[in-house]
């Protein structure tokens, strides 16, 4: 075991992103589990004084429970590398690629991993080019989470309002072909695939409300789909994680099946939600792993990425 009881673990949570509220909940659950494991837990609500806070708290290792910008995108990872404080989850580059949905696609496509067609609307141009398959489409920010700013657009008349909505959350936005089939998420823990979860939002769209309101979405673990499709999705999840180099800790690859039952990667989350009822802990539970053991596995995997200087 790398980190033993008494190690000073800083739980970095809250933060500056639009997903702050979700992160506060993840951080609280993680802090509780780390305490049960016997670590000395220091809860740090991250703001621009983070460097001073880390030093003053004499943190030995950081558990990153920050979702979204500054937390999931390589920024905080860079701060921790600079301070030589080992941290959970992927390093700087893998984090920033995974946070950027277009860069993620470029990497995945270079490995022939399927992901929906997309276009990037040109800010200067009056005419918006949409993916060749036409409607329905999904409009979303390139670097956000929790479905913030995401809309499903069924016809041209609704495109402009959807673009404006997405722009509220991110400077860069994207338009994607809508993938109509089953939604699945594949949790990967230290390079191993966990059971798949099928996601069935009650109103059809997996938006912020569907994600965080009790009873708005049904989750089926393990996903009741063909064994061959399960295996294929798990293999693609592992291949995606290898392609991005984001295998440290616990990550989640989101998928939808297309009309031909072919899995399409929607995105990769390098700091997935971590309350006891979040998806990744549910996937671990389906394999008999309780929340505290899961958090122990993740903290024991913490490290630094850059060469020592
Ligand atoms: N191309 C798509 N086709 C169908 N549904 C999509 C597509 N892209 C996103 N969605 C829906 O929107 C949700 C949020 O999109 P996602 O890309 O995962 O962003 P976020 O980072 O906000 O979770 C997905 O879980 C899915 O339900
Ligand atoms: Mg998602």
Secondary structure (3-state) at 177? strand
Residue nearest to ligand 1 atom 10, measured at CA: 138
Q: Locate the ligand 1 atom nearest the alpha carbon of residue 206 and give its number.
A: 27
Tell me, yes or no, if 215 is annotated catalytic: no
Domain end marker among 158, 177, 196: 177
CA–CA separation, 238 and 245 (whole Å): 10
165: CATH: 3.30.1490.20
> Which stretches within 176-255 are classed as H helix?
208-212, 227-244
- 170 alpha carbon – ligand 2 mean position (Å): 16
Q: How far is CA 107 from the centre of its chain?
A: 16
Say yes or no: 154 and 271 in one domain: no
> Which stretches within the chain are classed as H helix?
20-36, 50-56, 75-83, 92-99, 101-110, 159-167, 208-212, 227-244, 279-286, 291-300
Residue 194 lies in a domain: yes
Residue 308 lies in a domain: no
Residue 1 lies in a domain: no
Tens digit of pLDDT at every position of the chain (309 positions)? 789 998 999 999 999 999 999 999 999 999 999 999 999 999 999 999 999 999 999 999 999 999 999 999 999 999 999 999 999 999 999 999 999 999 999 999 999 999 999 999 987 777 899 999 999 999 999 998 889 999 999 999 999 999 999 999 988 999 999 999 999 999 999 999 999 999 999 999 999 999 999 999 999 999 999 999 999 999 999 999 999 999 999 999 999 999 999 999 999 999 999 998 899 999 999 999 999 999 999 999 999 999 887
Out of 269, 278, 296, 301, the active site residue is 269
Say yes or no: 165 and 189 in one domain: no
Q: What is the pTM of this model?
A: 0.96
Query: CA-CA-CA-CA torsion for 60, 10, 80, 104, nearest 10 degrees?
Result: 130
Say yes or no: 75 and 206 in one domain: no
Q: CA nearest 10: which of 67, 51, 68?
A: 51
End-to-end CA distance of the chain: give it in Å, rounded: 25
Tell me, yes or no, if 247 is annotated catalytic: no
Residue 305 lies in a domain: no
Say yes or no: 105 and 213 in one domain: yes
Domain end marker among 156, 177, 198: 177
Q: Locate the ligand 1 atom nearest the alpha carbon of residue 146 and give its number.
A: 22
Output the CA–CA distances (angstroms, integers) from residue 214 to 201, 280, 299, in the order listed. Answer: 11, 17, 29
Tell me, yes or no, if 160 is annotated catalytic: no
Residue 207 lies in a domain: yes
Q: CA nearest 70: which of 125, 127, 17, 122?
A: 17
222: CATH: 3.30.470.20
Structure tokens at 233: 């999705």
Say yes or no: 188 and 257 in one domain: yes
Structural domain count of the chain: 3
The confidence score (pLDDT) of residue 86 equals 98
Say yes or no: 134 and 263 in one domain: no
Residue 196 lies in a domain: yes
Q: What element of type H or E holds 43?
A: strand 40-45
Say yes or no: 224 and 277 in one domain: yes
CA–CA separation, 283 and 277 (whole Å): 10
Numbers of helices and strands, H then E, in the chain: 10, 13
Structure tokens at 263: 């899995």
Say yes or no: 26 and 142 in one domain: no
Whether the Cβ atoms of residue 35 and residue 60 lie closer than 8 Å to each other: no
Say yes or no: 19 and 152 in one domain: no
The confidence score (pLDDT) of residue 171 equals 85
Residue 128 lies in a domain: yes
Domain end marker among 136, 162, 177: 177
Residue 148 lies in a domain: yes
CA–CA separation, 285 and 278 (whole Å): 11
Tell me, yes or no, if 212 is annotated catalytic: yes
User: What residues flank ligand 1, with Cβ below 6 Å?
Assistant: 116, 138, 140, 144-148, 150, 176-179, 183, 206, 254, 256, 266-267
Q: Which residues of 206-236 are buried (b: 16+ CB within 10 A; e: fewer)?
A: bbbebbbeeeebeeebebebeeebbebbbeb
Out of 53, 212, 245, 305, the active site residue is 212
15: CATH: 3.40.50.20
Say yes or no: 108 and 236 in one domain: yes
- The DSSP secondary structure of 248-281, one letter per residue, reads SSEEEEEEEE-TTS-EEEEEEESS---STTSHHH
Say yes or no: 156 and 192 in one domain: no
Domain that holds residue 74: 8-89+294-300
Out of 14, 15, 19, 248, the active site residue is 19
Q: CA nearest 46: which of 34, 58, 62?
A: 62
Say yes or no: 105 and 236 in one domain: yes
């Amino acid at each position: 075991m790398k980190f033993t009881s008494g190690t000073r673990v800083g739980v970095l949570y809250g933060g500056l992103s639009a997903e702050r509220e979700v992160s506060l909940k993840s951080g609280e659950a993680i802090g509780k589990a780390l305490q049960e494991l016997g670590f000395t837990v220091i809860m740090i609500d991250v703001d621009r004084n983070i460097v001073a806070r880390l030093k003053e708290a004499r943190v030995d290792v950081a558990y990153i429970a920050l979702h979204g910008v500054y937390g999931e995108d390589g920024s905080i990872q860079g701060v921790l590398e600079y301070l030589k404080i080992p941290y959970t989850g992927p390093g700087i580059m893998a984090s920033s690629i995974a946070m950027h949905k277009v860069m993620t696609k470029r990497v995945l496509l270079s490995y022939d991993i399927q992901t929906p067609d997309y276009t990037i609307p040109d800010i200067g141009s009056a005419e918006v080019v949409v993916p060749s398959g036409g409607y329905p489409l999904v409009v979303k920010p390139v670097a956000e989470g929790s479905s913030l700013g995401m809309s499903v657009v069924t016809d041209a008349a609704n495109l402009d309002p959807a673009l404006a909505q997405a722009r509220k959350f991110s400077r860069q936005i994207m338009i994607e072909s809508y993938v109509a089939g089953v939604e699945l998420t594949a949790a990967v823990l230290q390079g191993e695939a966990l059971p798949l979860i099928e996601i069935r939002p009650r109103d059809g769209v997996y938006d912020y409300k569907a994600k965080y309101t009790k009873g708005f979405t049904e989750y089926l673990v393990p996903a009741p789909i063909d064994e061959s499709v399960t295996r294929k999705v798990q293999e693609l999840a592992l291949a995606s994680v290898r392609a991005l180099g984001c295998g440290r800790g616990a990550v989640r690859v989101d998928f939808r099946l297309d009309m031909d039952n072919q899995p399409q990667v929607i995105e990769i989350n390098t700091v997935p939600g971590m309350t006891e009822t979040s998806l990744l802990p549910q996937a671990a539970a389906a394999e008999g792993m309780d929340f505290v053991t899961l958090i122990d596995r993740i903290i024991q995997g913490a490290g630094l990425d850059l060469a020592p200087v």
